[in-house]
């Protein structure tokens, strides 16, 4: 796989600083039942990296010490970590809002037959990847059969009360562009999703989140192999919006890898750009029990333009 990190290292992106920490985004491991083209984690069925119970207990200590409000679980497929349910239960017992970044298809695997019910029982917010309402476009990114399984999973979630108007179980969908272009208007695309999924499959959901593809890992390698990397970076830079700087997710979030090391965001994690302590060592989740990172300078590179281009992009969707 081609490495985009050297191309992103030199940057003229503006300096940004952290605000108060309120969100832990935790990568529970790189194993996944899918191998999607746009995946910036390079996740797949053959990956073996998994967060241990010991690191998860460190996370719970940090949640208690720093009064963390949101635990955002990602992967790979985070649900494939054997400690997933333990972490969810412990976090919910502390009143923490838990988000599961679910690929939907995992809910249809026999070994995870009761997973949807578990998520509902624990009032977990599901943020589910569905890069299009078209079968052809979804399967071009994610593989054959994925669209049908995703639709079946969404119908299962709706039957449990997820995404239903007036209900308390939140179901959000995530759109990623299928190529080297920016997402369309989040509001307009949400209306299109609601119409197509509602009329064709009877599916309801709460919000659609649009996320810009980052020029790193699997997608970045694809750009390089097609000779599109520089063109895509020019697109991101030409559409830079200073207005988005104040709402960047890295100002209130840290990303933690499966070994417990801390990064300013999930994308920095994939580029191996860890948060660095004053002694130049990598910051571990245990270190955050004793050090305050508010007002600390955030590590940046050219990929940061992906979060500030156009309407902006974060793990919570558009910024503008």
Residue 78, pLDDT score? 96
Instruction: List the single range of 96-105, 198-207, 209-218, 307-316 with lowest mean pLDDT.
Output: 209-218
Closest CA to 239 of 310, 319, 311: 310
Q: What is the residue extent of each domain of the chain? A: 5-308
Residue 9, pLDDT score? 84
Sign of CA dihedral 194, 320, 293, 50: positive
Residue 108, pLDDT score? 95
Segment holding 173, helix H or strand E: strand 171-175
Residue 10, pLDDT score? 86
94: pLDDT strictly greater than 70: yes
Per residue in 49-67, pLDDT (tens digit) is 999 999 999 999 999 999 9
**Which pLDDT band holds residue 171 (cuts at 50, 70, 90)?**
very high
Residue 142, pLDDT score? 66
37: pLDDT strictly greater than 70: no
11: pLDDT strictly greater than 80: yes
Instruction: List the single range of 25-39, 119-133, 144-158 with lowest mean pLDDT.
Output: 25-39
**Which pLDDT band holds residue 44 (cuts at 50, 70, 90)?**
confident
Quickly name the fold that domain 5-308 has.
TIM Barrel (3.20.20)
**Which pLDDT band holds residue 303 (cuts at 50, 70, 90)?**
very high
Q: Find the mean pLDDT for residues 138-147.
A: 77
- DSSP secondary structure letter of residue 191: H
Distance CA 54, CA 300 (A): 30
Contact partners, residue 234, CB within 8 Å, separation at least 6: none
74: pLDDT strictly greater than 90: yes
Segment holding 207, helix H or strand E: strand 207-210
Residue 261, pLDDT score? 98
Q: How far is CA 231 from CA 2, 186, 235, in A?
A: 17, 23, 6
Residue 42, pLDDT score? 67
Residue 313, pLDDT score? 95
Return mean pLDDT, the chain: 93
In 60-149, which ranges are E strands? 70-74, 97-102, 125-129
79: pLDDT strictly greater than 80: yes
Per residue in 245-291, pLDDT (tens digit) is 999 999 999 999 999 999 999 999 989 999 999 888 999 999 999 99
């Amino acid at each position: 796989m081609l490495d985009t990190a050297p191309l992103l290292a030199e940057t003229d992106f503006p300096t940004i600083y952290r605000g108060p920490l309120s969100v832990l985004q935790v990568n529970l491991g790189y194993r996944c039942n899918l191998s999607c083209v746009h995946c910036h984690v390079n996740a797949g069925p053959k990956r073996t990296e998994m967060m241990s119970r010991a690191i998860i207990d460190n996370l719970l200590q940090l949640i208690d010490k720093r009064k963390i409000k949101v635990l955002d679980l990602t992967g790979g497929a985070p649900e494939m970590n054997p400690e997933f349910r333990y972490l969810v239960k412990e976090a919910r017992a502390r009143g923490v809002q838990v988000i599961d970044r679910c690929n939907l298809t995992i809910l249809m695997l026999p070994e995870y037959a009761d997973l949807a019910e578990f998520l509902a029982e624990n009032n977990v917010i599901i943020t589910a990847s569905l890069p299009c309402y078209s079968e052809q476009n979804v399967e071009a990114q994610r593989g054959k059969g994925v669209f049908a399984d995703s639709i079946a999973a969404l119908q299962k979630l709706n039957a449990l009360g997820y995404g239903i108007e007036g209900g308390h179980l939140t179901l959000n969908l995530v759109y990623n562009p299928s190529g080297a272009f920016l997402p369309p208007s989040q509001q307009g695309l949400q209306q299109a999703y609601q119409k197509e999924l509602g009329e064709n499959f009877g599916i309801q959901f709460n919000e659609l989140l649009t996320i810009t593809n980052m020029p790193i890992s699997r997608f970045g390698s694809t750009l390089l192999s097609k000779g599109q990397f520089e063109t895509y970076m020019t697109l991101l830079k030409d559409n830079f919006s200073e207005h988005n700087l104040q709402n960047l997710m890295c100002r209130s979030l840290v990303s933690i890898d499966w070994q417990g090391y801390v990064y300013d965001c999930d994308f920095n994690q994939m580029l191996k750009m860890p948060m660095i302590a004053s002694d130049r060592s990598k910051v571990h989740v245990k270190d955050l029990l004793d050090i305050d990172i508010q007002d600390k300078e955030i590590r940046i590179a050219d990929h940061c333009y992906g979060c500030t281009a156009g309407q902006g992009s974060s793990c919570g969707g558009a910024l503008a």
